[in-house]
Homo-oligomer: A and B are copies of this chain.
Amino acid sequence: MKRLLKGGDILIYEGDRFSCLKNGFLGIDGDTIDYLGIEAPKETYDQVKDMTGRLLLPGLVNGHTHTGMSLLRGLGSDLPLKEWLFDTVFPVEDRLTDEDLRIGMELSLLEMIASGTTAFTDMYMSPGYTARAVVASGMKANLCRPMQSFDPDEEPMTCRRMREMLALYDEWNGAAEGRICVDFAIHAEYTCTEKMVRAAAEEAQKRGAGMHIHLSETAAEQQNCVEKYGLTPAQWFDKMGAFNGRAYAAHCVWLTAEDRALLKERDVTVIHCPESNLKLGSGVADVPAMTDEGLTVALGTDGAASNNNLNMVEEMHLAAMLHKGVRHDPTALPMDQVLRMATVNGAKLQGRTDTGVLAVGKKADVIAVDMDRPHLAPCIDPLSNLLFSAQAADVVMTMADGQILYENGDFLTLDRDRILFEARQAARRLLG
């Protein structure tokens, strides 16, 4: 089907900056953008949708999350990190069944779709369930089965997690016309042996798959690693070969200047997760230094247990203001950079060259923000209104590969009421 989005203001990306086509036309042929301009296309389209008063932009890419954790939303707020994780989150996680994970993950898909996210990068248990639900939802995702190993004698190629990882790759990589990609993952330096990291990195590179890690999230992680290996976590992962292929690292709050230079040299994408880093007391990553030095930085929410939502609109808003305040510099991390993090750089992290921007020939991953709302009037600067004034609920349409997943509050691919019912039931069962 050919569909024309007519009359909206369209955020296009050229020469590292976003600009706005006022009252433009965006044509879609099947899953691909085939027209973009301020004049009406000559071709005819099967369907014309009026987008007057709406801002069209690329679907947001959530660069780091744990979708299965949404059933734990709000658990243990305000607790010290160790009590939160060891006494509160882990005991509940131990009770999660595959069915719970499926429900939590579907709940996450609802929330992400309603807030304008079209693609995400996940790290959690039972990614096979996630893959099935993502396919049904119409979203895109890079999935993995994260490696963990505390036993130096455990043989990588025969351990359960590696077998699951390889099976996941074989079954799902490239599925649903490429909407599903499978990457490899190491949970973190402090939860994995050298042998395991080396093996996972090799297997990822053999397949041209990405490598997803947690890196330098807390001061303790950074310090303990230096004490243990005489290397920072970034140096340690690099030595293990984890950065030889496409690699992306979540958090990066405690990187040294040398770490940043290393990540730049190895073209590792940093995933900034400002809400989670604040809420858990981890700190504030020095993103302006990273972008000034030319690192690629994407944006992620982390899981709903430490955020406590998967709201990329809010994450952009926070990223846009946080660094200005912490640096005492209102010019820090300008708006173009923030939107790039949530779109262009997210697509790069996922190894997807066919999305991340609105342009002819790219996949039609498009969201519409309703600008006809009191908190978005007047619209002196659409980018400023989007990043500093908008809410996720201003997203009124979410489209991936040309398919509308959400429109004006209705989910077109997922059963909202069934999922919310199951989520409440599951939480009651888990927490009493």
Report A's interface with B, CB cutoff 8 A. 71-75, 77-81, 84, 107, 110-111, 114-115, 219, 274-275, 277-284, 304, 307-311, 314, 317-318, 320-322, 324-332, 334-335, 372, 374-375, 377-381, 383-385, 387-389, 391-394, 416, 419-420, 423-424, 426-428, 431
CB < 8 Å: which of B275, B325, B426, B428 contacts A281?
Answer: B325
Residues of B within 8 A of A308 (CB): 384-385, 388-389
Bound CA span A290–B310, Å = 31
Select the residue from A111, A282, A318, A325 with max chain B CB neighbours within 10 A: A325
Do B330 and A431 touch (CB < 8 A)? no
Bound CA span A389–B69, Å = 14
Bound CA span A94–B415, Å = 53
Bound CA span A423–B275, Å = 33
Residues of B within 8 A of A115 (CB): 375
Known A114-B374, A308-B388, A309-B389; 19 more pairs at CB < 8 Å: A77-B335, A77-B381, A77-B388, A78-B331, A274-B325, A279-B324, A279-B325, A279-B388, A281-B325, A281-B327, A281-B331, A304-B389, A311-B391, A314-B391, A372-B420, A378-B423, A378-B424, A378-B428, A393-B394
Do A81 and B330 touch (CB < 8 A)? yes
Residues of B within 8 A of A428 (CB): 378
Q: Is the contact region of chain A dominated by helix, strand, or loop, or is it mixed?
A: helix
CB < 8 Å: which of B309, B322, B374, B427 contacts A110?
Answer: B374
Do B321 and A279 touch (CB < 8 A)? yes
Do A79 and B330 touch (CB < 8 A)? yes
Instruction: Closest B residue to A428 by CB, please name it.
Output: B378
Instruction: Closest B residue to A325 by CB, please name it.
Output: B278
Bound CA span A291–B222, Å = 31
Residues of B within 8 A of A416 (CB): 374
Do B324 and A280 touch (CB < 8 A)? yes
Residues of B within 8 A of A375 (CB): 111, 114-115, 309-311, 392
A431 to chain B, nearest CB (A): 6
Whether A388 contacts B284 in the complex (CB less than 8 A), given A74-B380, A279-B330, A334-B78, comes out as no
Do B389 and A278 touch (CB < 8 A)? no
Residues of B within 8 A of A331 (CB): 78-80, 281
Provide 25 A-B residue pairs closer than 8 Å at the C-beta atoms, listed in order of the A residue.
Answer: A74-B381, A77-B387, A81-B330, A107-B374, A107-B377, A114-B374, A277-B325, A278-B321, A278-B325, A279-B330, A280-B324, A280-B330, A281-B330, A282-B325, A282-B328, A284-B326, A307-B389, A308-B385, A314-B317, A318-B318, A377-B423, A378-B424, A378-B426, A391-B392, A392-B393
